[in-house]
Amino acid sequence: MKQDPRIVIIGGVAAGPKAAARARRLLPNAEITVIDRGRWISYAGCGMPFFLDGQVNTFEELFNTAYDVIRDEGYFLREKDITVLTSTEAMEIDRAKKMIRIKDLAGQEERWIPYDKLVVATGASPIIPPIEGRDLKGVHGLNNPDDLLRLMETVGDVNEAVVVGAGFIGMEVAGALSNRNILTTVVELRDQILPGVLDEDLAGVLKTRLESQGIDFALGQKVIRFEGENGRVARVVTDRGTLDAEMVVMAVGVRPNVEPALKAGLKIGDTGAIEVNEYMQTSDPDIYACGDCAENVNILSGRHTYVPLASSANRQGRVVGDNIAGRRSRYNGILGTALLQVKNWNVGRTGLGEQQAQALGYETQTAITPAHDRSHYHPNHSLVILKVIAEEGTGRLLGVQGIGPGGLDKRIDVAATAISFGATLENLVDLDLGYAPPYNTTIDALQHTANTLRNKKSGLVPMISPRKVWEKLQSGDDFVLLDVRTQREHDSKPMNDERVIHVIMGELRERIDSIPRDKEIVVFCDLGIRSYEALRVLKGAGFTNIRSMEGGMRLWAYGPVGML
């Protein structure tokens, strides 16, 4: 009878424990050891910002199972017969002898342990730029539970904070601090928030909405130094000014922890993470890598990429557990599907962004459509703004992004599924999705956006982006901005410009002679639906030089007006 392998896993946060748990279910008699240099294991790192702002009630909940048992060394030993060695560092991997030299960081003792199959799940570490003053008290990261505890010690006494970095963690932390009524400013080197996550158009709208809720942004700025008083941070100096700060949270990104793999001679990919094949094997077939230390493959481009996400880490860990047990499971790659929440705004994306697709050589067409996430008469209805990116000509779906206080998650997941199976816009709108007023509109918001793009592609509705409208207003172009909103909508959020003509949609046919035929006309409304209808009415009446402002006022992120 074949003996089960001795399995050693370096890393005990996400991918490592998942690989261990899956291997144990498939190999009841295997010897499984997990090593982690920290004192915390199997914790919900993604939940830390939500503990910071009070949505998670207790620190222990970040370590609990769904049945309220703490996932510690005793839990893994009792329930899974897995030995977990915390505060223990893997110092050396001897691939020839299949041995690992480990060091107890508390007692400093070293010893060698054998393995038949090794899993490297060492995760990632925060990037700490060499900024002067980064050692001042009050300058924090948020990479592990110890960081969270240090933050919580003083956050209750803070009135002003600066977050450095507008990526996933930075934005979630900014939202958490703002929810605690702390004046929060986000500094970002790039000119937009969530670079690489959202395209500029949606990022601009989200920024405007978050500013209206109290978060400030200093975009396109480089942090030069932190200044302190009495050993504690007091100011953040950028290349464009100075910001007061009683607390700073650094969130400029992470880099994969590849040192053990590198020292062992394992191949490191072009992304800087450990290169693996479809079975999650490294260049040594008896050594696997998974989680934030390993590369991914983008399903659409076929290229290696580094996108550290908890969802990917757990899926990879399961694949590793399968393959250690001889099941030959494949990990087919990622679409970069991700969700986050900032204040009451949800953000989601999957597939390629517009610029990402174009950089890969795709000719793209896009549409952005605000819509209700459920029937407008249902008391819980809210707004979602979706962007669909498709390949010109074929109509193949390449990516979807969305923002809004409404339900985004199911739209993003439907889009990820559709992209994975090579769906076109036509395939997407043909999907038989569920409807009832508490859950959806009769035509889902994602399908509505796909239909908008189909209308654009067919020439049925020529469109102009809100940014282009803003540029026309600023440049002094002579054109008509036709507002077809109701009187209440017009009065509550007026577009104050002499080029605006206000004609309620229901009165358009009666007043059509009041609209000049010798000028370019841009029609707008709240969501973009009535402006589309108005455009078709005007086209039918012989108007030719006319466009609809895409997304209406819900997509407006420029100047002092907008549906905030």
- DSSP string covering 423-447: -BHHHHHH------TTT--SS-HHH
Which 8-state DSSP code applies to residue 238? Answer: E
Check if 46 is active-site.
yes
Q: How are beta strands 521-524 and 546-549 bridged, if at all?
A: parallel
Q: Which residue has the tokens 């995760």?
A: 123
Q: Whose CA is closest to 198, among 524, 445, 559, 557?
A: 557
H-helix or E-strand containing 29?
Answer: none
**CA–CA gap between residue 148 and residue 155 (Å, rounded):** 10
Residue count (the chain) = 564
**CA–CA gap between residue 436 and residue 323 (Å, rounded):** 42
Upper half-sphere CA count for residue 540 (Cβ side, 13 Å): 9
Q: Is the dihedral of CA 79, 83, 85, 90 positive or negative?
A: negative
Angle between helices 409-420 and 445-458 (to 10 degrees): 60
Q: Which of 46, 290, 293, 525 is catalytic?
A: 46
**CA–CA gap between residue 365 and residue 329 (Å, rounded):** 36
H-helix or E-strand containing 318?
Answer: helix 310-324
Evaluate whether 285 touches 406 at the Cβ level (below 8 Å). no
- Number of other CB atoms surrounding residue 541 within 10 Å: 13
**CA–CA gap between residue 268 and residue 258 (Å, rounded):** 8
Residue 303, C-beta contacts closer than 8 angstroms, at least 6 positions apart: 297
Q: How are beta strands 383-391 and 397-404 bridged, if at all?
A: antiparallel
Catalytic residues: 46
